[in-house]
């Protein structure tokens, strides 16, 4: 199996995929595009394949050449940009504008969304928007993109000049985040993991740092099958209350929770590709997951904001530190060291992050 990223190597989805493949008995190879890759540092990585970054014109050719030269079962893109660059299945689902339209068409609830193309007219509409709001990229075509963020004032939007990518603006919503992940095959949901987020990082618009599996919702699964019509593979759909926020047609960061809960989505997908039809499966409810680094940052931020005492933050982290995060990960220290080296370089040589693009309203979806 070839795990394809194309970014700086800090993609947790790539690492989670390598560990899940190892748990299922596969020998993963990993593309590396410069820097120290978390996935390549894993003791379960069996081959490192240098390729250009996903932004480079030679990225797709290098990946296709590698697949043609070796007997891989398949290549698994683990980022939206890699899916688009390789023209892999799911490309239409990573376009958030298209996704929101398709979700409405199948009866799902989405936030009121306004999408913008590349222009400097954001400044002219900043005073007309209702705050707080969430701004996020409509399409991640590059390894360098500004993630979703909360915006509270017009001046924060005015600082987002000079970009080139389309963006989506939605009301900032509060509530319980949850997700449904699984594997779709020939119109069937052959495996699924329902999970509730306990904490996220960043705290306003982030990924799960603490989560727990929950009982399946057959109604939600039927909706997702309609949304995913024509797609086959691994996916994760994220919700906030009744609202669909995002859909990842690929492996994702909290994949170790699925492995711990008895549903190795990557392993199931590989078995299907080899002609093996596993029995339909659902994750065991009540299994917990922790992303240690993100959870520590979440708890520290709560303490610094005066929302908890330092003692309670430390106790929360200590109480949860033994929560399972995927069986292979417990024996895999290489990625931890690679992450520490990356963080050290960031401190010594901080990078300047480009400002996100200025955008123009072109349409509104109710």
Q: Is the Cα torsion angle 54, 333, 331, 286 positive or negative in sign? A: negative
DSSP E strand stretches across the chain: 2-4, 29-32, 47-50, 75-77, 113-118, 133-137, 149-151, 167-171, 177-185, 188-201, 207-213, 233-240, 243-248, 281-282, 288-290, 359-365
Residue 169, CA atoms < 13 Å, CB-side half-sphere:
27
- Of the candidates 103, 243, 258, 269, the residue with the CA atom closest to the CA atom of residue 194: 258
Identify the pLDDT of residue 366.
31
Residue 127, SS3 per DSSP: helix
Q: Beta 177-185 vs 243-248: how paired, if at all?
A: unpaired
Residue 16 near residue 234, CB atoms below 8 Å: no
Decide: helix, strand or coil at residue 210.
strand
- Residue 306 backbone zone (phi > 0: left; psi -120 to 50: alpha; other: beta): left
The candidate with the shortest Cα–Cα distance to 200, out of 292, 276, 294, 115, is 294
- Rounded CA gap, 179 and 246, in Å? 9
- Would you call 68 exposed, middle or buried from its count of C-beta atoms within 10 A (0-12, 13-18, 19+)? exposed
Q: Which residues pair with 361 in a beta bridge?
A: 116
Please list the pLDDT of the chain residue by residue as tens digits (366 residues): 999 999 989 999 999 999 999 999 999 999 999 778 999 999 999 999 999 999 999 999 999 999 999 999 999 999 999 999 999 999 999 999 999 999 999 999 999 998 887 545 566 788 898 999 999 888 887 777 778 999 999 988 878 766 667 888 999 999 999 999 999 999 999 999 999 999 999 999 999 999 999 999 999 999 999 999 999 999 999 999 999 999 999 999 999 999 999 999 999 999 999 999 888 999 999 999 999 899 999 999 999 999 888 888 887 777 655 555 444 455 788 898 888 888 776 655 554 443 333 332 233 333
How far apart are alpha carbons 105 and 102 in whole angstroms? 5
Instruction: Quote the CA–CA distance of 87 and 108 in Å, as a whole number.
Output: 27
**How many Å apart are CA 14 and CA 43, to the nearest integer?**
14
Sheet holding 2-4, edge to edge: 47-50, 29-32, 2-4, 75-77
Q: What is the pTM of this model?
A: 0.89
The terminus-to-terminus CA distance of the chain in angstroms comes to 42
Cβ count near 193 (within 10 Å): 29
At residue 145, the pLDDT reads 72
State the Cα torsion 338-340-345-347 to the nearest 10°.
160
């Amino acid at each position: 199996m070839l795990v394809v990223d194309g970014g700086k190597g800090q993609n947790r989805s790539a690492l989670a995929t390598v560990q899940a493949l190892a748990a299922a008995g596969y020998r993963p190879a990993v593309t590396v595009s410069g820097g120290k890759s978390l996935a390549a540092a894993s003791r379960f990585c069996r081959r490192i394949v240098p390729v250009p970054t996903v932004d480079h014109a030679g990225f797709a050719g290098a990946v296709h050449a590698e697949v043609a030269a070796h007997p891989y079962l398949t290549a698994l893109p683990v980022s939206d940009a890699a899916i688009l660059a390789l023209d892999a299945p799911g490309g239409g689902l990573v376009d958030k504008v298209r996704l929101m339209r398709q979700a409405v068409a199948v009866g799902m609830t989405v936030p009121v969304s306004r999408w913008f193309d590349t222009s400097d007219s954001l400044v002219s509409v900043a005073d007309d928007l209702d705050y707080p709001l969430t701004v996020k990229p409509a399409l991640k075509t590059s390894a360098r993109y500004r993630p979703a963020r909360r915006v509270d004032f017009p001046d924060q939007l005015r600082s987002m000049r000079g970009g080139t990518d389309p963006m989506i603006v939605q009301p900032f919503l509060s509530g319980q985040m949850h997700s449904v992940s699984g594997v779709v095959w020939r119109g069937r949901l052959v495996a699924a993991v329902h999970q509730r987020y306990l904490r996220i990082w960043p705290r306003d618009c982030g990924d799960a740092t603490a989560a727990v599996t929950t009982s399946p919702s057959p109604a939600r699964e039927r909706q997702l099958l309609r949304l995913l019509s024509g797609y086959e593979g691994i996916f994760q759909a994220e919700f906030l209350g009744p609202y669909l926020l995002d859909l990842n047609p690929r492996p994702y960061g909290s994949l170790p929770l699925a492995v711990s809960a008895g549903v190795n989505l990557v392993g199931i997908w590989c078995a299907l590709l080899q002609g093996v039809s596993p029995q339909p499966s659902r994750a065991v409810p009540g299994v917990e997951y922790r992303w240690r680094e993100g959870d520590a940052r979440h708890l520290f931020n709560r303490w610094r904001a005066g929302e908890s005492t330092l003692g309670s933050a430390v106790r929360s982290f200590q109480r949860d530190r033994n929560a399972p995060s995927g069986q292979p990960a417990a024996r895999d220290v290489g990625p931890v060291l690679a992450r520490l080296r990356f963080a050290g370089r960031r401190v010594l040589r901080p990078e300047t992050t480009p400002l996100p693009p200025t955008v123009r309203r072109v349409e509104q979806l109710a």
